[in-house]
Structures are given as C-alpha cells and as structure tokens.
Structure 1
Amino acid sequence: MTTKKSTTKSGAPARRRTAKPQQYKASNDELLEFYEQMLMIRRFEEKAGQMYGMGLIGGFCHLYIGQEAVVVGIQSALKKGDSVITGYREHGHMIVSGTDPKAVMAELTGRSGGCSKGKGGSMHMFDPENGFYGGHGIVGAQVSLGTGLAFAAKYRKTDNVSVAYFGDGAANQGQVYESFNMARIWNLPVIYIIENNQYAMGTSVSRSSSEVELYRRGESFRIPGKQVDGMNVLEVRAAMDEAVKHCREGNGPFVLEMKTYRYRGHSMSDPAKYRSKEEVQKMRAEHDAIDQVKQRILDAGFKDEAELKELDKKVKAIIADAATFAQESPEPNLSELYTDVLA
C-alpha cells in the first residue's frame, strides 16, 4: 500500500512546519531588563551611525538596528562560562555580553581605550573575560571557531555551551556544513544561531538559497532545528531555553533560525536600494522588537510612559558618555603594532 505525499499547488513536496515556540513568561523585572538592553543597543548603534557620518569612525561599520531582540533573548538564557562568537555585526552582542559601551565605542574610533586596544575596529572586537570570542570579518569563519569552543567545553568536562551566530548569507558557506558534521559526530554542545535578516549583503534569501527555511539546514546531519520570530524577545528566549537544555544534557548541537530584519543597509556604505522604503516602514510599524516590549510593559501597568521616557534618557546619557570617552581616549601607541602578534 502506498501513501500519497502531500504537495503544494506547484507540485513541490510540502514542507512540515516547525512547532511554534512558546512565549517565555518573563517577570516584570526581566521584561524591563529586556527593554533596557534592546534600547541600549539601538541608541548605541544610532550614535555609532552619527559618528561614522562625522568621520570619527573609519573602515566598515555594520549596524544591528532592528535585530536587537535576537541577541537580548539569547544571551539572557546563558550563564557564566558559556562562550559566544559571531560575525562582524557584533556591537550589540558585546554590550549584552557585559562589555562596557565605552570600550566598544572607543574600539569603533580606533582608540587605546577600546576593547581590542583600538586595533580591531568595528569588525574585530574581543572580550574573552565576558565569554565573547570575537566578531569576525571573514564570512562564516566564526562557525568553525564556535564549534571548536564547544569541543573545548566538552573536553574540559563542563556543562558550558557555545553559541555561534551567523547570517543568512553565511548559511551558504561550505565550512558551516563541515562544522555541522563534526559537531554531530562528536556530539558537541554548540547552538548555531542563524540571524536571518532576509537580505544577506543585498540579495534576498529566496534568490540565493535553494532551501529558504534555514532551520532545516542541519537535518541531513541529524541536528534538530527550530524557526523563531526573531522580532519577539520572549519567543527568542523560550526557544533558546529549549536549545540550551538540549545541549547541557549532552544531546549535541542545535540550530535556531531567527527570522529578523535590519532597518539599515548591510553596512554604512550600503544605500539598500534592493528593497522599498515602504517595506522597511511596514516592518518598523508592525514588528519592531522594542515597541512590542514597551507595549507589554505599559499593558502590565508596572511602568508608565513617563517612566519609560526617563529610562530612555538614562540610556542616552550612557551612550553620550561612551561617545565622549571614545573621542577623548588617545590613539594607540606605535609600539602596539608589535603586541598581540602570534608567530
């Protein structure tokens, strides 16, 4: 007896859908913390964009505006000892990992007060003391390194997990699948976070990927995956809790695809002409991660509009101090050219 396979109208095999993650039940304090962290990232990135326009930041600069719920929801599920690694859109990842915004902004301006002594700039920041093992400029390079961090955690017999962030563009890189294979064979505690902002550098996922449901990319390696609304911090946190539990219990790797959206271009030099202004405005109006949490706070009634405005003022003051510090911090001494060089 044969069973008829379900198909779409086009005749292609129908995709089984991922179960929608539960909403994390955040306390009032947690909800407020999520809101403040996302606000901190956005205000930081807005200031970084201004400083870039003023010529105070050189080189490449990739802003995280719009994607804040992803890193805030994910990092809130981690503990001390876990490791994080990502690509070059990493300012927000550093701040939520615990790096002082002053040190991040000073790194953007290439000053000695920066977290990488002013030698890394926007794309290459590190803070291993806070479990952050770098933003990496080579597309997809961090995926293999993050897998190595997971190997180290297992080798040392800890219950720590490694979180390797990468984008929808990097999802088509070959080393990603070599890493998937190795992680599954060795049962490594690594969570692969695909930040699918839908355009990579400027090409939509539908034009560049034969499999657009990126959470399924691990299936041939027997790695479970889940697709998540990356604009909803509570959904992100709930999915991350599941992935962390899976890894800490020794079940090997996990893939989370975060459907998110960046409001700015790929980098500061990208005019983003591959999408309409109406599309961006619609996403901002209907799905903005910060507005969603703000509304939850107001609906719950434990903070009012005036109190949230005061919080925003406090955050803006912190970022203003960071910008001042970054501009006043001296440039690195020439002798720094010869430090941190490995042979």
Structure 2
Amino acid sequence: MSNKIVLPSTLFETSNIDDEVLVSLYKDMLLGRNFEDMCAQMYYRGKMFGFVHLYNGQEAVSTGVIKALSDSDYVCSTYRDHVHALSKGVPPNLVMAELFGKETGCSRGRGGSMHIFSAQHNFLGGFAFIGEGIPVAIGSAFQSVYRKQVLQDHNPLRVTVCFFGDGTSNNGQFFECLNMAVLWKLPIIFVVENNQWAIGMAHNRSTSYPEIHKKANAFGLPGIEVDGMDVLAVREVAQKSIDRARSGEGPTLIEALTYRFRGHSLADPDELRSQKEKEAWLARDPIKRLKNYLINNNIVSNDIMDSIHIKTKQAIDDAIHFALSSPEPEVKDLKRYLFADDDNKLN
C-alpha cells in the first residue's frame, strides 16, 4: 500500500497554482527564514537562553503542509517549532517574545524555544523530547472524530498534522501511534522531516530500513516520499493527504526529504557533516528556487520582490522591538498557568 512519489525538480514549470497562492507561499517561507536568522543573532547576543534549534532549509515542508490546512485544523510540532508556529498563523511578535522569555509570549514566557503553543491557532505545541508529540497528535485526531460522531458537529472533520524528524521514526511512539491511527481511521497526517541527521548521527547509520515511508506498509496506511526542498511538491502531496483524512479515509505517512542548513542547535559547531554535502543541499535552497520561478515567469517583478523582502524584514524588526520592550514574568506568578481555569488560560 506504499506509494513512493518522487516528484521532479521541474514541478514549478507545470504548476497550475494561482499566482497569489504562489506569492503567499514565498512570503511564508521567507518569513520563517528571516525569523530564524534573527533568532541566531539574538541568541549570540545573549537575548535568548537554553537550547535553540533553527529550521533553516526546511521551510518548504512547513509552508507546503501547513498552508494547505484550514484554520480549524491542528498542528503538533517538535523542538524545532518556531517556523511551524509562524506558518500556522501565530504572530511573529508572540513567538519572538516567547523566545525572549517574556510575559507577552504565546506561552507567557514559560515555554521558550522548544514549547511554542497557541490554543487560539490550534497549534498544539513544540516538545523537547523526540516522539513526545505523536501521542498528543493522536489524541487531537481522536477528539476530531469524537466531536463529529458523538457531539454531532456538522462542520468538516478537523485534521491533525504531526511533524517529527527521521530519528523519531526509530522510537516506540512512532510505531504504536501509526497502529492506533489506522485502527481507528483517525484524520491525522504524520510528516517525517527527514533532514538526514539525528543530532550527529547520519540517518542511514541509525536505521536498518532508511526509507521511512515504507514503514507504513506494516500498518496499512499510505506511505509517500516527497522532495522536501520543493514547496509545490510538498503542497500537492499534503493536499491529497488532507482531503483523504477529512473524508474519513484515515491517516497518511509523508516522508519529506530535506536538510537543515545549520547545526542541530545553536550550540552545535556542526563539524560532523562534510562541506561537500552541505553545499549540495544549499544549491537546492527551496526559497531561492521559488523566487527564481516567480521572477523568471513574470509572476512578480524585481520591485515587488524587493518590497516583499523589506516588509518581511520590518515584521522581524517589529517582533524584536516588541520582545525587547515586553515585561518579564513576575516571581509572584511562578505557579500561574499550571491549571486550566478562566483566569489562567494561555493564548
């Protein structure tokens, strides 16, 4: 039942996606890249603390999948969660303030980099331990079915997307939750962001079966491989999987082949990966590929492209100003938000 799809790098040339959608996809990826670049600057200036894992290079996966969802759908992330939150609509100001540990952050400064959360945007959070979010996503998908079948919700079935890395695919939660998802025909999409490395371990050295999407065979759900550096290829696969889930046909496993352009975290000197390997993936930068397509096909002019970049930079600058000027959490509120009541709800 495995469906291996290797979409060509020339997919842009045959795309029939509306021009406005193409531009919106570019804007989302650009926002994510610029946001992460600024995070690196702020981290090295001592404005952020703890571990910070950046998403540079993987933007086509976040944008391609999440921008195909509806507002009522859910997203469950990993510790590399900033860009997932931005794609789901969490404002840059709130994400940046959270990274600074400020009271105005989307998790009130209590979560930091690895625990971005926003109930308002159905963003179920980042998780510090690998595989930790998969059972949470299963619960989210189950409540969608419960809402529909028991509570008689007449709205379309809500879909949950669960992101995780290649290293997680060797963990027990992955296998257990795939089994449960198929057993209950849950409206969930498992997205493996295979960036080739689990911290310092190369993917092909850590698993006896490197093609992760084929592991779907054991549980009877579709397993799809896609070029994770091509936002349109990702979007096409994601849209079909979302439609399948929303119609009640159950889960899908997507393996997006991608690459992180920075080290595992900002504390990682990134000395284990070869320069030749990095350069080969950098040449396939998903943002540059879409930019070239937009300009070469006269979808946007150079002036409009410059305007997009200026507005994106301004949005990031505004987020930094907001974070720097926001108040720190007060000691008296140390135990606040531990329990869900009307006075202590997070965004």
Matched, 1:213 2:211: yes
Q: Out of 227, 230, 233, which is 1:229 matched to?
A: 227
The aligned runs of 1:136-285 (5 Å cut-off) are 136-157=127-148, 159-285=157-283
Given the two structures, how large is their TM-score scaled by the length of structure 2?
A: 0.91
Amino acid at match of 1:39: L
User: Aligned partners of 1:141 and 1:86: how far apart in 2?
Assistant: 10
Alignment counterpart, residue 36 of structure 1, candidates 3, 27, 35:
27
Residues 273-292 of structure 1: CA deviation (Å, up to 9, x unaligned): 1112232122112x110011
Residue 252 of structure 1 and its aligned partner are, at CA, apart by 1.1
Q: Counterpart of 1:317? A: 314
Structure 1: distance between partners of 2:145 and 2:332: 38
> How many Å separate the matches in 2 of 1:206 and 1:192?
20
Deviation at 1:121, TM superposition (A): 0.3
The DSSP-based 3-state class of the residue aligned with 1:42 is helix
Deviations 1:182-228 (A, max 9, x none): 11111111100000000011111110011111111221010111000
Identity of aligned residues (%): 40
Cα distance, 1:317 vs. partner? 0.9
Q: For residues 130-157 of structure 1, give each alpha carbon's deviation from its aligned partner in whole angstroms, at most 9, with x where no partner exists.
A: 1100001111010111011000001111
How many Å apart are 1:21 and its aligned residue? 4.8
Matching of residues 64-75 of structure 1 within 5 Å: 64-75=55-66
Asked whether the equivalents of residues 67 and 88 of structure 2 are also in contact (C-alpha less than 8 Å), the reply is no
Q: 1:129 to 1:168 in 2, by over 3 A?
A: same
Report the Cα offset of residue 86 of structure 1.
Answer: 1.0
**Once the 2 structures are TM-superposed, how far is the Cα of residue 99 of structure 1 from its aligned partner?**
0.8
Aligned partners of 1:251, 1:185: CA distance in 2, in Å?
11
Where 2:76 maps in the other structure, the secondary structure is strand
Deviations 1:265-309 (A, max 9, x none): 010111111112232122112x11001110110121132223212
> Contact 2:3–2:223 at 8 Å: present in 1 too?
no
8 Å CA contact 2:56, 2:261 repeated in 1: yes
What per-residue deviation string (whole Å, max 9, x for no partner) do you get for residues 245-279 of structure 1?
Answer: 11112111100001010000010111111112232
Task: Give 1:38-117 correspondences, 5 Å limit.
Answer: 38-117=29-108
Structure 2 unaligned blocks of 5 or more = 149-155, 341-347
Distance in 2 separating the partners of 1:28 and 1:232: 16
Contact 2:3 2:222 in 1 (8 A): no
Paired with 2:124 and 2:42, the residues of 1 have a C-alpha distance of: 26
Tell me which residue corresponds to 2:299. Answer: 302
Rounded to whole Å, the distance in 2 between the matches of 1:160 and 1:307 is: 36
Q: 1:127 aligns with which of 89, 105, 118?
A: 118
Measured in 2, the distance between the counterparts of 1:21 and 1:340 equals 45
Alignment length, in residue pairs? 327
Q: Deviations over 1:30-72 (max 9, x none)?
A: 1111111100000000000000000100001000000000010
For residue 166 of structure 1, give the secondary structure of its aligned residue in structure 2: strand
1:179 counterpart letter in structure 2: C
Distance in 2 (CA, whole Å) between partners of 1:304 and 1:281 is: 28
Secondary structure of the structure 1 residue equivalent to 2:290: helix
Q: Give the distance between the partners of 1:152 and 1:324, measured in 2 at CA.
A: 39
CA distance in 2, matches of 1:227, 1:281: 23
Q: What SS does the aligned partner of 1:192 have?
A: strand
| TM-aligned CA deviation for residue 335 of structure 1 | 2.5
Alignment-derived partner of residue 289 in structure 1: 286
Distance 2:159 2:237 in 1: 15
Separation of aligned partners in 1, 2:282 and 2:140? 36
Gaps of 5+ in 1: 1-15
One-letter identity of the residue aligned with 1:59: G
Q: Structure 1 residue 17: deviation in Å?
A: 7.2
In the alignment, the residues of structure 1 paired with residue 251 and residue 184 of structure 2 have an alpha-carbon distance, to the nearest angstrom, of: 9
**Distance in 1 separating the partners of 2:300 and 2:222:** 39
Partner AA of 1:236 in structure 2 = V
In 2, distance between residues paired with 1:177 and 1:340? 33
- The amino acid of 2:325's aligned partner reads E
Mapped contact 1:25–1:234 kept (Cα < 8 A): no
Deviation, 1:83, is: 0.6
TM-score where L is the length of structure 1: 0.92
